[in-house]
Amino acid sequence: MTSAEIRGLAGECGFELAGVAAAEPCGDRRKFRAWVDAGFAGAMRYLTDSRGPLRDDPRNLLASARSIICVGKLYNAAWPYSTQSSDPEWAWISRYAWGDDYHDAVRGGLQRLDAALRERCGPGYESRAAVDTAPLLERSYARLAGLGWIGRNTCLINQAAGSWFFLGELLTSLEIAPDGAPPDRCGTCRRCIDACPTAALVAAPDGVGYGLDARLCISYLTIELRGTIPEDRRAGTGAHVFGCDICQDVCPWNGRAPATTDPFCQPRNAAPPLARLAALSEPEFRSMFRGTAVTRARYSGFLRNVAVAMGNSGREEFRAPLERLAQSEDEVVAEHARWALERLAG
């Protein structure tokens, strides 16, 4: 099969982007090792434990792999960006978590694509699908497959469609001529670097380009980090209670990014009122965010984030809900609420 045929099939399966990379080690594995060695992964042990070496070669996931079909699924709902919102009473949730959990949507499309290929190729065809949970350098292979370049904000950027894409891969035993990587088109632009409130985009540890120090990133602090957020990093999170999109919101390539009407990513709770979130019981939290990525933060972590956002708002009307949170049996929530009360007083 040809790459063009693959793109046609992928489009029928709901993917706006598709391309093919060779299933072999790529040069970015050295960048990844340097990133890990620099401590930039923070407490994300799933990136640094025994699974780390598996990323060196995609054939560790499928021994018979010859090609990696890389796909991109658009999730840019037609709603404002976080940089266009200024209401201090609102929380902000990252765009990717507004609708249904993307793992299900991307995996479903990959399963349809896999079934179509299996029907065409018959016996001997082998494959394995991956949706960001497998030890695979997704962005690197997507770049090699022609889906885009890796920008200074460390996101994959497509010239025509921006960066609002979920990535998925289908490792296959098929021998398909690979596509080529596109040129880097960030030029001298550094809007993402200058806009990051926590200065998380820094010189890459290998000395080439930029990298993300996850320990400073709002998405890491509000999602991946369990327990206490370091005090010196709380003010920079602003009103974000789950993730952050600022480095994508300000990217010029996203200024003309297409929007999708796909039901899976339409907003349920893009910017809910902070007061409402602070009053949620655990069952109410689970009900409100069931089936979305927000549950990854867990109830305790989410209330921790809400308390910090309230403190950052400067709004006196949040004093009462913060005083309630300060009495929480969860000491992490209580401590962050006490910090927020001190910030309001200050």
CA 116 to chain centre: 28
Structure tokens at 280: 């949620």
Q: What DSSP string runs through 219-273? A: HIIIII--SPPPGGGTGGGTTEEE---HHHHT-GGGTT------GGGS-SSSS-B
How many Cβ atoms sit within 10 Å of the Cβ of residue 268? 17
Q: Is 45 exposed, middle or buried (0-12, 13-18, 19+ CB in 10 A)?
A: exposed
Roughly what angle, to the nearest 10 degrees, separates helices 331-345 and 298-313?
0
d(CA 175, CA 20) in angstroms, rounded, equals: 10
Q: Which of 28, 132, 179, 206 is catalytic?
A: 132
Q: Which SS3 state, helix, strand or coil, does residue 119 take?
A: helix
Q: Match 């709902």 to its residue by tokens.
A: 77
d(CA 96, CA 165) in angstroms, rounded, equals: 9
To the query of whether residue 132 is one of the catalytic residues in this protein, the response is yes
Structure tokens at 203: 């010189």
Q: Is 247 exposed, middle or buried (0-12, 13-18, 19+ CB in 10 A)?
A: buried
d(CA 21, CA 27) in angstroms, rounded, equals: 13
**Residues involved in catalysis:** 132
